[in-house]
Amino acid sequence: MSPLRLAVTGYVSEEAGSVASANALLLRALLERGCEVVFFSKASFVDPRPAVGAHPAFRFVNVENRAADRLRARVAKVPFLGFLAARWDSASYHRALLAGMRREHGASPFHAALWLGEYARGPLPGAAVISYAQGPPGTDARSILHRFGEICALAGLATAWKWRLLAALRLSRLGLPPLHWSERIIVGSRQSCQTLEQRYGIAPQRLAALPYPIDLAHFRPAADARAPGGPLRVLWLGRIIPRKRLDLFLDAAALALRQGVDLRLTVVGGVGFIPGYERLLRAFPEPARLEWLPHLPREEVPALFARHDLLVQPSEEENFGSSVAEAQACGLPVIVGATNGNADYLCEHDLRLADDAPQTLATALAAFATKRAGGTASRQLAERCFALDAVADRLLALLQERRGGG
């Protein structure tokens, strides 16, 4: 079979967040496996050339939509007008992407179009169209609706209603991305596949679950093991947004402390799109036991894991929490939420919560404090599930399976 010629777009960066850095690993792996990649993007938005630009089988095509981009920047902070301008900017940018792909396709046909981190916005006749998405659409919008009372208390009634209306727009036909253009949708977990099937009616044969790869050379257990004993050092890592359930983490930790569990807590992450969530941290009843780091450079995350005994991610509708997988790669046990897709990838030392009751998590923290684990089993799971070669081979097989004529 001839090597794949791919039209690729999406979020790729070695310096950005976990998804973009995982996509950089995958793009490099596809090139190393003989694929030819033409990447389409606005250079001011996503430029993968620092990661893969030196490879002889890679080419970058710059795509611009200057007028819509300028309007979005001018009105970004205007309620609703900013949302509509962002939608126009997105639509015009995706039209330009598709036009660029089709021009190149006409000159030298592609076997497949691969959209990394988002859903395909149109067809590429004669080529397979595959989306490796960050998860089902609307997860944050649904969390805003579910947690409206909490947002009112933390951010105020006006801000809460603004985000409630924006969430409703996001979940409407105006806000949801098209799903019908993707011949195959790849997401990080079976949890996300089930959501796409049950909520959006996607046929199971169009879905595949594939975790993101983790850089196992960078994320690895520390050479010096921490001495046993002392308080259980618990880490919460991620953006502070409603869906990530910082409120549940803090409520459960406060319960556990009142019940005599010796804890030291670290929260790492900045407040996301809804201001006011930092009030949860300031209201914690035992502030001497809590440290908040709004930002930490990505290269320092392995050392952060080495200073802790446990990672807790109680997120709702989590597709695939890269921080959970990275913690496991560093030998750290994890606790994940009841609707967290990382439940697909747990070892015997990890725990999936049965519900989102604070007492359930408090009980789990007490159990981890008395019987600490992790280490070899967590690392071995990461090597089985998140190794770049294994994930890249599976992705390549999915691309080959759906390849067009080219």
* Cα–Cα distance for residue pair 248/243, rounded to 1 Å: 10
Residues with Cβ within 8 Å of 319's Cβ and at least 6 positions away in sequence, in order, are 134, 135, 136, 139, 187, 188, 189, 191, 192, 341
- pLDDT of 227: 61
pLDDT (tens digit per residue) in 283-334: 999 999 999 999 999 889 999 999 999 999 999 999 999 999 999 999 999 9
Residues 118-145 as b or e (16 or more Cβ within 10 Å = b): bbbbebbeebbbbbbbbbbbbbbbbbbb
pLDDT (tens digit per residue) in 129-139: 999 999 999 99
Question: Which is it for the CA torsion 317, 319, 322, 328, positive or negative?
Answer: positive
- pLDDT of 71: 73
Q: If we measure between CA atoms, which residue out of 295, 319, 323 comes closest to residue 308?
A: 323
- pLDDT of 204: 97
- Binned at pLDDT 50, 70 and 90, residue 70 comes out as confident
- % of the chain at pLDDT higher than 70: 97
Residues with Cβ within 8 Å of 402's Cβ and at least 6 positions away in sequence, in order, are 112, 128, 130, 183, 184
- pLDDT of 80: 73
Q: If we measure between CA atoms, which residue out of 160, 145, 165 comes closest to residue 81?
A: 165
Look at 102 and 82; give whichever has higher pLDDT.
102
- pLDDT of 260: 97
- pLDDT of 85: 76
- % of the chain at pLDDT higher than 90: 81
pLDDT (tens digit per residue) in 263-289: 999 999 999 999 999 999 999 999 999
Backbone φ and ψ for 372, nearest 5 degrees, come out as -85, 145
pLDDT at 43 over 70: yes
Backbone φ and ψ for 359, nearest 5 degrees, come out as -65, -35
End-to-end CA distance of the chain: 12
Q: If we measure between CA atoms, which residue out of 217, 381, 387 comes closest to residue 302?
A: 217
Q: If we measure between CA atoms, which residue out of 154, 293, 274 comes closest to residue 236?
A: 293
